[in-house]
Amino acid sequence: MKPIIIFGVGQFAEVAHFYFTRDSSREVAAFTTDDMAMAPQQLLGLPVIPFSEIAAKYPPSSYDMFVAIGSSAVNRNRRDKCACMKSLGFTLASYASSKSIIWTEAIGENSFILEHNTIQPYTRIGNNVIIWSGNHIGHHVIVEDNCFITSHVVISGGVTIGEGTFLGVNATIRDHIHLGKYNVIGAGAVILKNTRDEEVYSSKSALRHPATTHEQDEISA
């Protein structure tokens, strides 16, 4: 396994460094960014290299890359940077937590799967898919490239998640439906039907007036 360079200097980059160094056979050699004006010279004791110099100083023959960009522009920024890395010749590294239960080997490059995920058999996870902690991804699910699944999402069996889709915390997806490409599924949304491409879906807000909460407290007391 080659050591890796992490693209990014934000919180996702720090989290990626944490998991790769503690729970994988990968060593992290450096960070890189194309915004040196906003970057520190070092991060977590490692050098931060201008992206324009990375292939010369850390060539793809000796180093792999992990792109640690969040869901900005509905995952398109991370998608585009992964394509850029591949055009430079880098292989993209993936991470899967030893504390998740993963019953598929069909997981693409630049994927990042944190702890307490259950991924059932016959499921396919595409390239550049970020799966944060504590999700259920049922059997025969297809997660297409460039998706971001946050936390405590339930994806029922046989669902297809279209390319680039973002799933907010606690979203619930009914079995055997198809989410479109580049959807934003809001926190707590319950999706029962197929969705169209490039749309935002959220549930009616569950926020309650404080007086209502107070009344409820009195009743239960």
- For binding to ligand COA (CB under 6 A), which residues are involved? 150, 168-169, 184, 186-188, 200, 202-203, 205, 207
Strand pairing report for 4-7 and 28-33: parallel
In the bound state with ligand COA, the residue whose beta carbon lies nearer, of 54 and 129, is: 129
* Smallest separation (angstroms) from ligand COA to the CB of 5: 24
Give me the numbers of helices (H) and strands (E) for the chain, helices first please.
4, 22
In the bound state with ligand COA, the residue whose beta carbon lies nearer, of 169 and 177, is: 169
* Smallest separation (angstroms) from ligand COA to the CB of 61: 35
CA distances, 124 to each of 44, 72, 92, 104, 172 (Å): 34, 24, 18, 7, 19
In the bound state with ligand COA, the residue whose beta carbon lies nearer, of 65 and 184, is: 184
Per the listing, tokens 């009195």 go with 218
In the bound state with ligand COA, the residue whose beta carbon lies nearer, of 15 and 36, is: 15
* Smallest separation (angstroms) from ligand COA to the CB of 52: 31
Question: Residue 69: which of 28, 20, 134, 16 has the closest Cα?
Answer: 16
In the bound state with ligand COA, the residue whose beta carbon lies nearer, of 85 and 184, is: 184
* Smallest separation (angstroms) from ligand COA to the CB of 206: 7
Q: Which two tokens stand for residue 27?
A: 């060593």
* Smallest separation (angstroms) from ligand COA to the CB of 125: 18
Over the range 85-95, which residues count as b (16 or more CB within 10 Å of their CB) and which as e? bbeeebebbbb
* Smallest separation (angstroms) from ligand COA to the CB of 130: 10
Helix H or strand E encompassing 113: strand 112-113
In the bound state with ligand COA, the residue whose beta carbon lies nearer, of 5 and 147, is: 147
Long-range interactions of 123-127: CB distance < 8 A, separation 24+: 126/163, 127/82, 127/92
| DSSP bridge partners of 5 | 30, 65
Residues 54, 60, 63: CA angle, nearest 5 degrees: 85
